[in-house]
Amino acid sequence: MQRLIALDPKTTIGKSKDLFNAIQSKLGMIPNMMRTMGNSPAALNGYLLLNAALAEGKLGAKLGELIALTIANANSCDYCNAAHSFIGEKLVHIDTAALNDARAGKSNDPKIQAALDFSRILIEKTGDVSEADIDAVKNAGYDDGAIAEIIAHVGLNIFTNYFNKAAKVLVDFPEVELFEAAAI
């Protein structure tokens, strides 16, 4: 049972209503996670602003979704695993094999693999990465700006993973089985 109320967009008022209208016009729906975040317009707006900023970043939508899937599975978040699997397939057009690999923290592309490894290291070390960890991602071809964006993607996805798990947000995307991420 969901622990926090998912607001009804038809009866919501104020800042959350304005945010819901923007989400509806962009996505054609208001996902349960956002309806639930709408209990705090500040939380929902913060999520939307960081998400929009990262969408304009240098990493691109594909890598952003692959990182999101790696983090969702590392944190055992059913909601984010389902949402990013759907978004990755239907909106970003990532092939099924790459989506499955990302759920396990893997990629056939060495540069993407370095980003996924670094993402998981950030979680495992709670941000306290080593010089060697930074060097590994730099040696794969990421500059300081791209590394900052990887860290931001991880932070955003930790927020949504924890939010969805704590609130027990009902999954409103096609469910996808969680993978146990392989050890780094």
Residue type, 176: V
Q: What are the pLDDT digits (tens) for 70-107?
A: 999 999 999 999 999 999 999 999 999 999 999 999 99
Q: What are the pLDDT digits (tens) for 112-137?
A: 999 999 999 999 999 999 999 999 99
Residue type, 52: A
Please state which CATH class domain 60-167 belongs to.
Answer: mainly alpha
The answer to whether 65 and 86 have CB atoms below 8 angstroms apart is no
Q: Which two tokens stand for residue 2?
A: 């969901």
DSSP 63-127: HHHHHHHHHHHHTT-HHHHHHHHHIIIIIS---HHHHHHHHTT--SSHHHHHHHHHHHHHHHTTT
Q: Where are the domains of the chain?
A: 14-55, 60-167
